[in-house]
Amino acid sequence: MSTKLIVAIDGPAAAGKGTLARRLAGALGLPYLDTGLLYRATARRVLDAAGDPADPVAAEAHARALTPDDLERADLRTPAVDQAAASVASLPGVRAALLSFQRQFGQARGAVLDGRDIGTVIFPDARVKLFVTASVAARAERRWKELAGRGIAVSLQSVTDDLEERDAADASRAAAPLRPAADAVILDTTSLGADQAFQRACEIIDAIKKSAGPAPRTR
Ligand code: DC
């Protein structure tokens, strides 16, 4: 087992994974990878080429052709990309194409990675696995405020419907479905602010570092 610390953070959309993961990476002095960007950038390339995000051959080719610049694009978080990313993420060839990049990223110096299958598929031996979740209502409100802050005017209902649709797609797909790893600690952020979630995660990580095995499951 690698001695480099891997912190795997999985969970549904808008549960607060990204904010938490970035902060943990800073506190732990580790590189951070938002793995959702890989699927978003693949989807963006497919859409730009007027391709079909459900076409496995085209989507896999775009996943294999990703460049670091693709991940820096400012237009990866639009509702159209949300949908297309969920579609390309369900394709086994796309997931296989993105696997080694994620493993190499983590193996170099250790890392904090967030996504849907980090603790189950990408780093099943990760020392720290957090499954960050929250109620649909709490997640929808957060995503709606975030979109409004970026000048994207959509109704709370449509954000809720979209999240429920993506939750169902992420959880029911055959390839790497969203589920907590058996040894993940569940962190429910429904009633936690970002600071409280960070503090709780730090406590969990400290407990794991001190113990011989993974920390007990909590809610
Ligand atoms: O976390 P996000 O919303 O940026 O992710 C975009 C899409 O990619 C979403 O449909 C889930 C999917 N995804 C995935 O299947 N596996 C990952 N490790 C990360 C994201």
Q: What is the 3-state secondary structure (H, E, C) of 14-43?
A: CCCHHHHHHHHHHHHCCCEEECHHHHHHHH
pLDDT value of residue 219? 44
3-state secondary structure of 133: strand
Q: Burial-class residue 73 by CB neighbours within 10 Å (0-12, 13-18, 19+).
A: middle
- Domain spans of the chain, in order of start: 6-210
* CATH number assigned to the domain covering 6-210: 3.40.50.300
Per-residue pLDDT 10s for the chain (219 aa) are: 446 899 999 999 999 999 999 999 999 999 999 999 999 999 999 999 999 999 999 999 999 999 999 999 999 988 899 889 999 999 999 999 999 999 999 999 999 999 999 999 999 999 999 999 999 999 999 999 988 998 988 999 999 998 998 898 888 888 888 999 999 999 999 999 999 999 999 999 999 988 865 545 544
Kindly report the protein residue whose alpha carbon is nearest to atom 3 of ligand 1.
13
Q: For residues 92 and 48, give the distance between their C-alpha atoms in angstroms, rounded to a whole number.
A: 22
212 CA distance to ligand 1 middle (Å):
31
Distance, CA 90 to ligand 1 centroid (Å)? 10
Best residue among 39, 90, 117, 133 to mutate for probing ligand 1, ranked by most atoms within 8 Å of CB: 39
Identity of the amino acid at 33: L
pLDDT, residue 213, reads 56
Contact 13 CB / ligand 1 (< 6 Å): yes
Q: What is the CA radius of gyration of the chain?
A: 17
Q: Where are the beta strands (DSSP E) in 87-170?
A: 111-115, 128-133
> Which residue is closest in CA terms to ligand 1's atom 11?
86
CB 86 within 8 A of CB 167: no
Strand ranges (DSSP E) for the chain?
Answer: 6-10, 32-34, 111-115, 128-133, 185-188
Measuring from atom 5 of ligand 1, which residue has the nearest CA?
36
pLDDT of residue 214: 54
Report d(CA 118, CA 112) in Å as an integer. Answer: 10
pTM: 0.91
**CB 39 less than 6 A from any atom of ligand 1:** yes
